[in-house]
Amino acid sequence: MRVVTCLLQEHDLWFVLLSVLMCGVGAAVSTTLFQRTLNEQGSSRLLWCFLSAVTAGASTWATHFIAMLGYRTHVAVSFDGGLTLVSALVAIGGIGAGLLIATSPRRRLASVAGGGTIGLAIAAMHYIGMFAYHVDGIVTWRPAYVLASLLLVCGLGVLLVDSLRRRRRWEDRLVPGVLLAAAIVVLHFTGMAAFSVTPIAGAPASANAQALSGLAIAIAVVGLLLLGMGISTYLVEAGARSFSRKQLAHIAMHDSLTDLANRHHFSTTLDEQCAALGRNGRPFALLMVDLDRFKPVNDTLGHPTGDAVLRLVAKRLQLAVRKSDLVARIGGDEFAIIAFDLSSLAQAEAIAGRVVEILSRPFLVGGNMAELGGSVGMVLAPGQGLTGEELVQHADIALYAAKRAGKNRYCVFEPEMMEAMQRRRHLEVELRRACMREDFTVVYQPIVDSQNGTVTGAEALLRWTCPGRGEVSPAEFIPIAEDLGLVSRIGASVLRQACEEAASWSAPLDISVNVSPVQLLDPRLPQVVAQALAESGLSPERLELEITETALFGDDEAALRTLTLLRELGVRISLDDFGTGYSSLSYLHRFPITRIKIDQSFVRRLPEDPGSASIVRAIAQLGESLELQITAEGIETSEQLSFVALHGCNHAQGYLISRPIKAGEFAEFIRTGAASLAA
């Protein structure tokens, strides 16, 4: 009761309002800074603690001092400057100390000791301030009120620290502010209620009201300025932090080179979309984009140019899709697109088409021109997959199909691709294993002299039986072996087997072995051949290597070098499948070729088809004049055999003579002297 009357009757209301304003603003700013201090670590915690203590101490002191100035006495008043300053410093130091204790990891100690210290600091400030307050009258103290004020302020201090340490909802941030304001107000007015002045009769009652209000306003302004500094420091720092946090979030979600979404962002978005499918989510498409021919750009023009190209690719992709779609870079030259909210397959295909089109256009970077191109695999959700993993897998399969189909195009996923893919995966695994164990068989197709039907040799043909899939045609597994980089090894294995086999034959017949374009480009080929000959003891003149025109088409300098070395070994070279490729006559002239094999597609139409007949005749004549041997492949009828024999083909090969047969059978075939198969 005494507190209320003290407040209402003994204080000037304007001063009270000013001090309430000071107190409220001070409490709000101070608790914000307190919170920040508690959340900090290490040395920056000390700095924040200092700022908080100065702000809170100064505002508490200002609140007290303004309220004191508003205390109505009827006697003259003066202040002891030194003690007043001490009271302000006590507030700052005490609050700082309390705050430091409040950061202790032990919760109870933090609340009780920290809160208590803050409370006591406020009380000490008040009572020291009161000692600095000199009145010309008789001062009486009411100990009960003093004690009550101490208990109340300490209790509120404990509650304050406790509420600060609790991480709660945003609106609860008001609570500490209210508690601090309450602590200051309650202490002040309870403390003032403990105090009373009785004027001494006859002393001049000359309180200078005007001077006091000027002082109050000055202190309020200085206090508010301090608070303003405190809060602006906080806000500037918080702004910078939120900016750097946003920047960090951006860095975490984006690719630094292209500023596209990164793999993480992409996966998260894809999973979100898939999760939304269950609820009424809209269909969307996933496009996997792979750049074609990017590696050569990096290799020949350098990484800086490669990076510049990737940046252009990123910009182009964003132009090719709709604004709302997500474009991500998920690997070196791999990109992914999520096209949201699709109404039809046609819409998705239009986007894929634009992506392929825009990537097929030339890139001009730093004076260099790069022709890239892109392959796209597309899958639609929910129709072709429900989970992110499934969609990515299916899109990759479609992408693979697009690449197999010749790149620079898009493919939409189809379930059949899965089977093809599984077969291919299986073949890849088994092919590697077979390659390790040299698990290939070689069969031999006899070749005869077309004039008298004597067997002059055989062509070694590769056969592979895949466990679980049966016999696989070379047309299927050789390209896979090429992709896996196994062709040279397989080729070497066939060569070795064939040479060994031929060396064991009872008659010195010829053996021809196919050499793939990849093998021919391998500079180790002459060494491999020499080794196979040395190990088997086969004389080089009996070995003939069959190459195709496509092998000569690429790097013909390298091919010429290799072929020359092979010829120097004494090995002969024949040109296989002649007439089907580019059939440049300059090859016959430039390369050390000893034989031409006429492709079976011409032989098959003999002798009725006049075109084929002319071609076969022409090639035979060409062989004669260039002094090349000629073999006709694919002889199936005796008419065909007579035709090629008549027109000067030296040798013949085909089902009419014999299918490819096992090594043992062929050896037997020679031994039994069944040297003549056909007449």
Judged by the rule CB under 8 A, the positions of this chain that interact with other proteins are 312, 315-316, 319, 354, 357-358, 360-367, 369
* Residue from 593, 611, 606 nearest 634 by CA: 606
Q: What's 540's DSSP letter?
A: G
> Is-contact 423 472, C-beta < 8 A?
no
Q: Supply the minimum distance, in Å, between the C-beta of residue 545 and other proteins.
A: 40
Judged by CB, which is closer to other proteins: 18, or 308? 308
* Strand stretches in 54-205, DSSP E: 77-79, 133-135, 137-141, 195-199
Tell me the chain's radius of gyration from C-alpha atoms. 48
Q: Supply the minimum distance, in Å, between the C-beta of residue 241 and other proteins.
A: 38
Instruction: State how far the Cα of 103 lies from the Cα of 39, in Å rounded to an integer.
Output: 9
The residue behind tokens 């009120």 is: 145
Judged by CB, which is closer to other proteins: 363, or 440? 363
Q: What three-state secondary structure class fits 196? A: strand
Q: Supply the minimum distance, in Å, between the C-beta of residue 335 and other proteins.
A: 16
Instruction: State how far the Cα of 387 lies from the Cα of 390, in Å rounded to an integer.
Output: 5
Q: Supply the minimum distance, in Å, between the C-beta of residue 321 and other proteins.
A: 12
Q: What three-state secondary structure class fits 577? A: strand
Q: Supply the minimum distance, in Å, between the C-beta of residue 368 and other proteins.
A: 9
Q: What's 291's DSSP letter?
A: E
Judged by CB, which is closer to other proteins: 351, or 520? 351
Give residue 100's identity as a one-letter amino acid code: L
Q: Supply the minimum distance, in Å, between the C-beta of residue 357 and other proteins.
A: 6
> Is-contact 415 385, C-beta < 8 A?
no
Provide CB contacts within 8 A for 247, sequence distance 6+: none
Q: Supply the minimum distance, in Å, between the C-beta of residue 361 and other proteins.
A: 4
Judged by CB, which is closer to other proteins: 361, or 659? 361
Instruction: State how far the Cα of 577 lies from the Cα of 660, in Å rounded to an integer.
Output: 17
Judged by CB, which is closer to other proteins: 366, or 508? 366
Instruction: State how far the Cα of 226 lies from the Cα of 178, in Å rounded to an integer.
Output: 20
Judged by CB, which is closer to other proteins: 312, or 613? 312
Judged by CB, which is closer to other proteins: 358, or 521? 358
Instruction: State how far the Cα of 531 lies from the Cα of 301, in Å rounded to an integer.
Output: 39
Judged by CB, which is closer to other proteins: 370, or 458? 370
Q: What three-state secondary structure class fits 362? A: coil
Q: Supply the minimum distance, in Å, between the C-beta of residue 582 and other proteins.
A: 21
